[in-house]
A and B are shown apart, each in its own frame.
Chain A
Amino acid sequence: MTERSWDFAPIEVHGLTKHFPAGNGLLGRSSRVHAVDEVDFALRPGRITALVGESGSGKSTVARLLARLYDPTAGTILFEGHDTSRDRRRRDVLRYRSQVQMIFQDPFGSLNPVKTIRHHLERPLRIHGIVPRDRIEERVYQLLTTVGLVPPEHVAAKYPYELSGGQRQRVAIARALAVEPKVILADEPTSMLDVSIRIGILNLVRELKDEHDIAFLYVTHDLASARYVADEILVMYAGQIVEQGPVEDVLADPLHPYTRLLLSAVPDPGTGVEAKRIEVRKGMASAAVDPAEGCRFVGRCPLAVAVCSEVTPPLVEARPAQAARCHVTAPAGAVPPVVTT
């Protein structure tokens, strides 16, 4: 591996915010869903950052904002120091997309059914002019081999319907790799695959980040797979990051009550339902719709105190590299607030 600065972040996100209009409130006043609210983080080369949360937490919206499929309501997305969130010119967008690739959840919907695998991999190579024309075929075979689809000559001639779900997801990964990106955004890449082949895809992701020095954002609802592949973890709840830190530290000893709830809900064959019954408080299912001042988890939180419904807790680094938004477990003032670099 070549010498490089590990502190250099290809993508930095500051105050990223996305609001969606949601139906009509009373008296014709429309309400807004704060799908993503004031999110800060950075992705680093050769590191996998897991973004976890339940459906509706805003995690997929973050990935889509980074892929420039949506325009943010506010905030900046710095790519190699340049704010790309307002770029409109095709040339700029194309350049950005050649560096930041996305892998989607559904490997059945993301490939064109009437085109061969060869076509899917040649296209990005041609559009972005990655290799000279006479070397395209060689590169296609190389990519297929990298993602474990061998013999490549054989696989390249196939159509998507001839491949299994796991093989299709490998094609999607090869296609993302074709442009030699610096960043890959993977949105639940294994959730639609059979359990026995999920690990294979996760192993592939781990190998790629090591060998290609790619910065990965791995979006998932599955904490166990996040632990398996990721270095850092961001936990989202109702549009906000409520906890972040090194994945082992966060999952071994979470600060935020929501992270604790999520962890206790994961099936664990070693214990059994009885041994780890959870007490769930009925909360506002719509904590992200026109949120009031205060902690968005307050309605479901077993630790809530008076201040929680009055003041929105800031993200506080209560332990080295581990931060949470909680007045009780990560009180502000005791330690300086997080400075994102």
Chain B
Amino acid sequence: MDWSLLSWSDYTFRNVVLGTAWIGAVSGSLGCLALLRRQSLLGDVVSHATLPGVVLAFLIWNSREITVLMIGAAIAGMAATLFIFLLDSHTRIWRDGAMGTALALFFGVGVFLLSLTQNMPTAQKAGLSKFIFGQAAALVASDVLVLVWTGLPVLLVLAVFWKEFKSVTFDPGFAYNAGLPVRGLELLLTGLMVITIVMGLQAVGVILMSALLIAPAAAARQWTNRMGVMVPLAACLGALGSSVGAVVSTLGPNIPTGPVIVLCLSGVTVYSMLLGRQRGLVWRWFKSRQSHFLAQEEGVLDTMQSLWEQHGRTRHGHSLEVIQLARIGRGNARPALERLRAAGLVQEEGDGTWSLTQEGTATKTEESKAGQI
């Protein structure tokens, strides 16, 4: 491994880290809206759909400038989105069928156009496929500058129309009744998303774009119920995951940047789903285990109290088998007995049988409480 590359003074390294972090931040922010609006797969479709736009832009202006290619990409991406909306609202094709159709058709036509440029004598088409397959490791300062100047207006518009976007996202009916131009806002939001996706292509490429858009948002969603917290958090997670991925990929000669970024972001998402506040799977598992334990203990204690009643309320040891037969629940009763002993409610007699302690006879279970009522 070549650690010397990891130097902040290294020009390439700095551009790559800054560029990917910025892309991650913008994608993370807009990804929240995609996630909340259930347009998670838009990233996948739009990123594939940019190919014909990239090639046409190249053919028309005969330039491989990142700005030119991005404009072409954005136009094609927007066209694909509108195509999906048309199919969704004016035909009986399901939305996901419309998305798959748009993805395949736009990309395939792009491949067709790209192959035409290969036959051109002066074609410098080398940069074209690189553009859509990600080129994070090749980002230069001028690219980063273009990305910053593209992303800033996107974030600015998001901030200016924050309230409107929020109400269109969560309650379009309310937004309409409040007199907001719902269609226009949705179109604007879609436009922002398309621009973001076109930027994201630079970092991870077509195939992995949906993860760059959605993973930070899905991670942030696990920690908060407020959009005002979720968006900045997703931006930070996106920036962090992307730059860490970019750094890791510079450690070895053959580590591809995009996939490492995506794996970092997916790791953050899985971590958040497991440990996220309140909703985390680990906490959920703990809670369900606890209530399971509680139910078992209740069942065993209740059984032993009935046995105690039947034996004239005297201290009388019962074997594990008897307790297990008498109780309603299934499985081994021993762990529950051990826990009850730890709580001082039962005791083990010398001959291996179990009996209630004084405290155990006095403790009311849910069952006996219900009986009293």
State whether these chains interact: no
Which B residues have a C-beta under 8 Å from some C-beta of A? none
